[in-house]
Amino acid sequence: MNSAAKQPVTPSRRYCIAPMLDWTDRYYRYFARTLSQHAWLYTEMVNTGAIIHGDKMRHLRFDDIENPLALQLGGSEPADLARCARIAEDWGYDEVNLNVGCPSERVQSGSFGACLMAEPTLVSDGVKAMRDAVRNIDVTVKHRIGIDQVEEYSYVRDFVGQVAEAGCQTFIVHARNAILKGLSPKENREVPPLKYDFVYQLKHDFPHLEIIINGGITSHEAGLAHLQHVDGVMIGREAYHNPFSLAQVDELYYGAAPSAITRDQAMLAMRPFIEAELKAGTPLRFITRHVLGLYQGVYGARNWRRMLSDAKLLKNADWRLIEQAMREVAPREPQPAEAIAHAATAPLAE
């Protein structure tokens, strides 16, 4: 799991990148880490059965520089959750997170995800089992503010209160209801109204808990405003589609020195990782699909996206295709020779 070295960081969930199915795989997470050393990263949701009975290397593998990193679990059986939490700790994850927010029917059929909000006792049993199974990592819960037509704040308040009694100290709250029937997962991210005040009230009512707010946050200005009321923010699609926004995270959320990294340097920092993956047999498209938004707002970004998403160009391609795509983006960013040499051999240091 080793690759390039990373500067030590002070673990904090002030800025988290949300777990996103099919998106926050290890290739994206490595890329995100070239832009921010401090952001707290999450895996895609992984079903407990896949970990227990499936290919652990496929589901759990990560590079050391990705830490701090959380494994998000989908499941409801306390014994299985405990077993997976122990495995997560053994693998070097910093946190194990229970998904109580996914509204998809496929997840519901497995009796986990957002439907678990109706079963706080079962969630509490799972949290306690996981906490008993691990020694030095956090057990957290990501959930909605309610399900279906339940609109009362007391619903999420009572849910958090009961699960906290099982020992959970960190709650990541998507500030929308989950509609279990009639809306797609995409619609569930957009249609139910955001109620940020519910999340703020949770922090007021449970000041000893760490409350992270999630849902509809599309700018650093909005994220920093939320931090006046809660302990951290979790960003999803904005962080993915506009990845260069991550270059400001360490300064704005963690008080680090301003980053001088350029988009070109971020890609050059990826080169050793990409070439090692290609040598191991990873198709280049597995990685390039995560960097398509890097040059958003820069003239020539369309050429960058076109080249790195073209199936014909990507077939049997190597690093040279990325170099060619970089040359299509104009105006060119100034690149001192020594900066390029450093970026090509290590991730950005603070």
Q: Which are the catalytic amino acids?
A: 102
Residue 306's identity, in one-letter code, is R
CA of residue 46 relative to chain centroid, distance: 13
Residues β-bridged to residue 235:
17
Which is nearest to 169 in space by CA: 207, 116, 198? Answer: 207
Instruction: Give the whole-angstrom CA distance, residue 344 versus residue 268.
Output: 5
Strand, helix or coil at 96?
strand
Nearest-angstrom CA–CA distance, 345 and 54: 34
Residue 299 and residue 38: Cα distance in Å, rounded?
A: 29
- CA nearest to 130, candidates 80, 190, 71, 63: 80
Locate tokens 């990845």: which residue? 243
Tokens of 129: 């089992």
Q: Is 229 helix (H, G, I), strand (E, B) or coil?
A: coil
Using CA atoms, how far apart are residues 141 and 149, in angstroms rounded to an integer?
22
